[in-house]
Amino acid sequence: MSVNWLPEAMPVLTIGHVARPLARLVDLRLRQAGITASQLPVLVALKNGEKLSQKELAAIAGVEQPSMAQLLSRMERDGLVRREVSPDDGRISLIALTEAAQDRLEPGRDILRALDAEVCTVLDKEEQDLLNTLLFRIAARLEEIR
């Protein structure tokens, strides 16, 4: 066994260890509002009446276009998004939220606020602010090295 192998001292592994169960918990709780965690990037991007293409949504969500196509098909089936022909290019569909999706946004936000408060009770306000700052720095670094 290597003397230098200390996985508990590696933030990347710790983040992964925390991220998986947290993602499952977020998804479980959001289902109460009729949405899923995978839908969040689309819901956030379109929340103010925006209309974006599948390609734009895939870039925002950081996923490949086939994955976004599948997600949007499920969301359309569930009545959360609608497709409209782009006025600029008839070959492109623009995606918009339906009223049903708009109605689920605030309950979803309430669920996420409550979960954040529940999980972060082990941290004081300064620690939460520091954690956010550090995680945003790591996220920015990930964008640089991709």
Q: Which CATH number does the domain housing residue 35 bear? A: 1.10.10.10
Establish if 98 belongs to a structural domain.
yes
Could you tell me the residue range of the domain that residue 48 belongs to?
7-145
Residue 105 lies in a domain: yes
| pLDDT tens-digit map of 29-39 | 999 999 999 99
Q: Is residue 49 part of a domain?
A: yes
Report pLDDT digits (tens) over 106-119.
999 999 999 999 99
- What's the number of domains the chain is made of? 1
User: 39 in a domain, yes or no?
Assistant: yes
pTM of the model: 0.81
> How far apart (Å, rounded) are the C-alpha atoms in residues 135 and 2?
28
Question: Does 56 fall in a domain?
Answer: yes
Q: Is 53 among the domain residues?
A: yes
Distances 2 to 5, 6, 11, 12, 17 between C-alpha atoms, Å: 5, 9, 19, 19, 21
Beta bridge partners of 81: 97
Across 92-107, average pLDDT: 95
1 in any annotated domain: no
